Structure 1
């Protein structure tokens, strides 16, 4: 079987399943914008948009033009691949950015499986949650609806689509959601496993003496992932727990939502607004996976806050590693975590409640051991990569299997 993946990034969601398939005899090819993308198991090629969007393009159409230009770049690279005689049996592309928009025009007989993460609403649950008093202009409302155009084209073209969580599927209109199957990307539960007595030692950071370690992980430092609330709570925790250390993993940038003016950042704002013992506050930046795992394994309490939006892999990896996850009481988190059973939930906006919960956990770590164990059990039972990859391999290999909508992983 030949399978083609398209994603602007690499390895992203497709690299691990691609390697799994390749090791089982599949011919796996991956097209990406990322230069230098390599894998010993996967053949890779690049595509690159030849220009930016048109200056002065209608703002409602800007997202679609950007996706179309990207789709054109991917299509040209795929046509060059086709000229060599290559023809996939299955194609899978990340929807919204455009790389898969023209796949069916190049290989009409190949099955196209879309990968969908989000459907935009004029006033989305994320925006309403973070800025309940903000009144959007008519232009902002109409422009948001236009962001769905590339996603709708992919939905129309694909045989069916995969979406990682039930919450993400619930954002799609019901008649379109009928074409989507909920199946997560999977967590490597063998790699992300607890390590008894783990202490954190990273290059340039030795916290082997620390008994109380509060951890936070996100791609960026931003309101969507509750960074301002976490930092405000961390300042309070550090006052109440003089031996507690805080480790923040991620880049000083905004990955989701509105960007700040040049030279400004949420990290700078929080450090200016709150008082910290900076000998106990550690920003690691982006770190390799093996170091990131060490952070999770040494964590006393791992804080994960998110607006109603796409759920981060990091929360699930933390659960798999046996972390005590203190999560926001928001729908994406509640899909996996039941308060007091396999994690602890807290009001996203209530800084004092977040701080109190962290302190309670630090005061009585043994009390929460069963919750840590249950967190890992949740991931092993429902989100193990080994089982999910096997399901996907079977799904991809069935050429004429009728699509059966699913509401769970």
Structure 2
């Protein structure tokens, strides 16, 4: 089988699938991306580039579409080069939204086009209208509608689609649901597993919490409202008053990955630490971590806070569950698809830092009660999200697309 993966961020959701396909010498696997770092054995990586950036004078509603077209053109040029060398894929499998898949049916009309549908944007009912203190207006409504243009083109053109959770598929127009299979990428449960009595010691960043009994953890790509970072900092301020021996480990970059930046140019970290001065000797910002160090954080966690707007569910929450973390999570739709309160986690109101504080204390004060919740946390991943089960099914779904 010849397969062409498309994703601007290599290898992203296709890491496990590309790896297993690349191990079979009967396959030819090419991955087009604009990220130069990283390689996978048996997978040929090719770099595509945009010819230019989006022009500043472009109407702001249309800028995401213009960027998607520029991405698609870059991919098309790479695809033409591959075609000139005799490569014609049986499968093109790409992430929908950024644009790489847009012109694949034009250059490879006989190839089966598979799309990974992660999110469909809505003005109301999910992330955009979630915060009552940040209401949307008519300008936002129009901008959000147009943001779906490249995704709708892919929905019309692709042969099959896949979405990682039922909640995420539910955001897409109902008329396309039959075209989109719900199938998660899978969590490596042999890697993300509990380690009894784990201690946290990361000499690379001079982090030694090996003598600390209470470690509260938080993981996100960025420090931003979408993942509840402001509420986290306020909850930590409350917790520091009541748990003088507790330490907090925050994994992520000081940036906005989703949503809006602050208008004054400050980061949310800067703004929140000005508003809530913390005892920084007990708060540890690690930046992003390599997998082995990230795993140590999860394994040593006494309680793990995960907050999210109704948006894409983070891998990190599922990885934390797989590691047996005691998760204090927002009672929002993507979370409640996986976590049931007092069964495999503890749920809180996203906007209520005091409740976050109280439930973390509940977790810290009741380790015996929480042991069964930790066990159930791992069980849900083993049952529904285990890579060992899902990867063969994902692979079969791809193979079936060639023969049907």
Normalised TM-score (structure 2): 0.96
Shift in Å, 1:37: 3.7
Shift in Å, 1:391: 0.4
Structure 2 gap ranges (5+): none
Corresponding residue number in structure 1 for 2:288: 286
Corresponding residue number in structure 1 for 2:108: 107
Corresponding residue number in structure 2 for 1:271: 273
Shift in Å, 1:269: 1.5
Whole-angstrom CA distance in 2 between matches of 1:198 and 1:259 = 37
Whole-angstrom CA distance in 2 between matches of 1:163 and 1:45 = 25
Corresponding residue number in structure 1 for 2:181: 181
Corresponding residue number in structure 1 for 2:232: 230
State whether structure 2 residue 113 is matched by structure 1 residue 116. Answer: no
Deviating more after overlay: 12-21 vs 309-318? 12-21
Whole-angstrom CA distance in 2 between matches of 1:400 and 1:191 = 32
Whole-angstrom CA distance in 2 between matches of 1:16 and 1:84 = 27
Corresponding residue number in structure 2 for 1:194: 194
Normalised TM-score (structure 1): 0.95
- Per-residue displacement from partner, 1:198-219 (whole Å, max 9, x unpaired)? 0000121100001100000000
Shift in Å, 1:360: 1.1
Is the Cα–Cα contact under 8 Å of residues 112 and 402 in structure 2 kept in the other structure? no
Shift in Å, 1:381: 1.0
SS at match of 2:124: coil
Shift in Å, 1:137: 3.3
Whole-angstrom CA distance in 2 between matches of 1:67 and 1:173 = 21
Distance 1:298 1:376, change over 3 A: same
Distance 1:399 1:16, change over 3 A: closer
SS at match of 1:114: strand
SS at match of 2:12: coil
- Per-residue displacement from partner, 1:283-331 (whole Å, max 9, x unpaired)? 0011111100000000000000000000000000000011011110000
Whole-angstrom CA distance in 2 between matches of 1:306 and 1:60 = 25
Is the Cα–Cα contact under 8 Å of residues 128 and 136 in structure 2 kept in the other structure? no
Whole-angstrom CA distance in 2 between matches of 1:377 and 1:16 = 21
Distance 1:17 1:399, change over 3 A: closer
State whether structure 2 residue 165 is matched by structure 1 residue 165. Answer: yes
Whole-angstrom CA distance in 1 between matches of 2:327 and 2:30 = 37
- Per-residue displacement from partner, 1:381-409 (whole Å, max 9, x unpaired)? 1111121110011111124666xxxxxxx
Structure 1 gap ranges (5+): 403-409
Corresponding residue number in structure 2 for 1:383: 385
Shift in Å, 1:170: 0.8
Shift in Å, 1:36: 3.6
Is the Cα–Cα contact under 8 Å of residues 123 and 129 in structure 2 kept in the other structure? no
Corresponding residue number in structure 1 for 2:94: 93
Cα-Cα RMSD: 1.4
Shift in Å, 1:123: 3.1
Whole-angstrom CA distance in 1 between matches of 2:139 and 2:278 = 42
Within 5 Å, which residues of 2 pair with 1:212-361?
A: 212-261=214-263, 263-361=265-363
Whole-angstrom CA distance in 2 between matches of 1:268 and 1:400 = 51
Whole-angstrom CA distance in 2 between matches of 1:325 and 1:75 = 44
Is the Cα–Cα contact under 8 Å of residues 37 and 44 in structure 1 kept in the other structure? no
Is the Cα–Cα contact under 8 Å of residues 320 and 376 in structure 1 kept in the other structure? yes
Whole-angstrom CA distance in 1 between matches of 2:196 and 2:106 = 53
Is the Cα–Cα contact under 8 Å of residues 114 and 154 in structure 1 kept in the other structure? yes
Is the Cα–Cα contact under 8 Å of residues 90 and 402 in structure 2 kept in the other structure? no
State whether structure 2 residue 82 is matched by structure 1 residue 81. Answer: yes
Shift in Å, 1:262: 6.2
Shift in Å, 1:145: 0.5
- Per-residue displacement from partner, 1:141-188 (whole Å, max 9, x unpaired)? 112111111001111111110001111111111102221110011100
Corresponding residue number in structure 1 for 2:18: 18
Shift in Å, 1:134: 4.3
State whether structure 2 residue 46 is matched by structure 1 residue 45. Answer: yes
Whole-angstrom CA distance in 2 between matches of 1:76 and 1:43 = 17
- Per-residue displacement from partner, 1:81-112 (whole Å, max 9, x unpaired)? 11100111111011010001011111111111
State whether structure 2 residue 160 is matched by structure 1 residue 147. Answer: no
SS at match of 2:128: helix
Is the Cα–Cα contact under 8 Å of residues 3 and 91 in structure 1 kept in the other structure? yes
Shift in Å, 1:64: 1.2
